[in-house]
């Protein structure tokens, strides 16, 4: 393991880098770009444990488990130093504020990756999924297609993210894996972490980097995440569950006793639990629609 100390105006952010094996294929994992997303960090650390015991059969694996360690200490998405969202400022700058310098270092450390997988978390109430710009990048689609997890979602493609900019500027195969968190801030979701590890070890076995973990599971590809919103504040009571198929016109829950309907056929990704909803809350249910 080596540590790069990234510095600006007396502030220091250590970037730990673990490397196993050498040569191609080169697989790189990043985690903790959003500090509070600890299930992703846990998966990265489990991969470090795995490759410490089982060096790559061929090629190399690089793991950056805690890209934004002070944000992780504070269990928050953004840097407590400069308020930046690290996953909006790639490729970063060696002359900018601390977050820009971290982005620059992560960008350089991931430059040679044939496969780049960035581990994130998507809140407590959702399902895990592979997120990529599949409509722009055949390489990203091919990468997601080899990971043994059931759901691949099209990204909105916001620029400045490690995976979007790696696909567009460097022609790499890069995606995010979104993993639900545990039931409170800083809580790991161990079941989801095991699922992701199995899916990743299956991919690593398929490309010859690991051995003996291949699973017969491939993701189905869906369009972007869509929201079902409510028109006013009130008591939201869900009737639908995540992982269910959605039918147009189906009642997904009620707001103050009045039914809330599904606008189209789809697959439910996230359902808010019973609670008071406010007019500015973005959604009560999110869903996706299958793509050919
Ligand atoms: Zn994130």
Average pLDDT over residues 102-116: 98
How are beta strands 258-261 and 285-288 bridged, if at all? unpaired
Give the H or E element holding residue 277. Answer: strand 275-277
CA proximity to 29, closest of 74, 67, 84: 67
pLDDT-derived band at 231, boundaries 50, 70, 90: confident
The pair of structure tokens assigned to 60 is 């190399």
The pLDDT of residue 85 is 98
- CA of 257 relative to ligand 1 center, distance in Å: 34
Residue 189 pLDDT > 90:
yes
Residue 219 pLDDT > 80:
yes
Say if CB 69 and CB 4 are below 8 A apart.
no
Say whether pTM exceeds 0.95.
yes
* Mean pLDDT rounded to a whole number for the chain: 97
Residue 39 pLDDT > 80:
yes
- CA of 67 relative to ligand 1 center, distance in Å: 12
pLDDT-derived band at 133, boundaries 50, 70, 90: very high
Give the H or E element holding residue 107. Answer: helix 98-109
Looking at the chain, how many residues does it have? 292
CA proximity to 270, closest of 140, 124, 144: 124
CA proximity to 157, closest of 137, 180, 129, 127: 137
Average pLDDT over residues 155-181: 98
- CA of 206 relative to ligand 1 center, distance in Å: 27
Residue 129 pLDDT > 90:
yes
The pair of structure tokens assigned to 169 is 């500027």
Q: How far apart are CA 165 and CA 256, in angstroms?
A: 44
Q: What is the sign of the dihedral through the CA atoms of 72, 78, 81 and 84?
A: positive
- CA of 160 relative to ligand 1 center, distance in Å: 13
Q: How far apart are CA 156 and CA 132, in angstroms?
A: 9
b/e per residue 159-178 (b: at least 16 CB within 10 A): eebbbbbbbeeeebbbbbbb
Which residues is 131 bridged to in the sheet?
A: 153, 176
Instruction: Note residues around ion ligand 1 (Cβ under 5 angstroms).
Output: 34, 37, 120
Average pLDDT over residues 231-244: 96
Residue 171 pLDDT > 90:
yes
pLDDT-derived band at 281, boundaries 50, 70, 90: confident
The pLDDT of residue 12 is 97
The pLDDT of residue 97 is 98
Which residues is 43 bridged to in the sheet?
A: none
- CA of 152 relative to ligand 1 center, distance in Å: 16
pLDDT-derived band at 292, boundaries 50, 70, 90: confident
- CA of 34 relative to ligand 1 center, distance in Å: 5
Average pLDDT over residues 123-148: 97
Average pLDDT over residues 240-261: 97
Average pLDDT over residues 246-266: 97
The pair of structure tokens assigned to 171 is 């022609």
Which residues make Cβ contacts (< 8 Å) with residue 230, sequence separation at least 6? 236, 255, 260, 277, 281, 284
Start-to-end CA span in the chain (Å)? 43
At residue 129, the 3 state secondary structure works out as strand
Domains of the chain and CATH, by start: 2-221 (3.40.630.10), 225-288 (2.40.50.100)
pLDDT-derived band at 29, boundaries 50, 70, 90: very high
The pLDDT of residue 272 is 96
Q: How far apart are CA 111 and CA 241, in angstroms?
A: 40
- CA of 25 relative to ligand 1 center, distance in Å: 26
């Amino acid at each position: 393991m080596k540590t790069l100390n990234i510095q600006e105006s007396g502030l220091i952010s250590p970037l730990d880098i673990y490397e196993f094996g050498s040569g191609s294929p080169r697989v790189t994992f990043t985690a903790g770009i959003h500090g509070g997303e600890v299930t992703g960090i846990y998966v990265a650390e489990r991969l470090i444990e795995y490759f410490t015991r089982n060096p790559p059969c061929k090629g190399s694996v690089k793991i950056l488990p805690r890209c934004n360690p002070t944000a992780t200490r504070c269990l928050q998405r953004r840097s407590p130093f400069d308020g930046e969202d690290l996953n909006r400022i790639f490729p970063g700058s060696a002359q900018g504020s601390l977050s820009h310098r971290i982005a620059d270092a992560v960008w350089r450390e991931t430059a040679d990756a044939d496969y780049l997988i960035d581990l994130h978390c998507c809140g407590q109430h959702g399902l895990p999924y592979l997120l990529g710009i599949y409509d722009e990048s055949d390489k990203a689609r091919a990468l997601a297609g080899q990971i043994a997890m059931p759901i691949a979602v099209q990204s909105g493609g916001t620029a400045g993210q490690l995976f979007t900019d790696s696909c567009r500027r460097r022609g790499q195969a890069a995606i995010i894996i979104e993993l639900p968190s545990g039931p409170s801030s800083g809580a790991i979701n161990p079941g989801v972490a095991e699922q992701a590890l199995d899916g990743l070890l299956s991919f690593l076995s398929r490309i010859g980097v690991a051995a003996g973990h291949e699973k017969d599971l491939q993701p189905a590809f869906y369009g972007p995440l869509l929201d079902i919103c409510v028109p006013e504040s009130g008591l939201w009571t869900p009737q639908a569950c995540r992982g269910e198929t959605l039918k147009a016109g189906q009642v997904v829950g009620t707001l103050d006793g009045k039914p809330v309907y599904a606008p189209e056929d789809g697959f439910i990704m996230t359902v808010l639990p019973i609670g008071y909803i406010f007019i500015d809350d973005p959604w009560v249910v999110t869903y996706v629609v299958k793509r050919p």
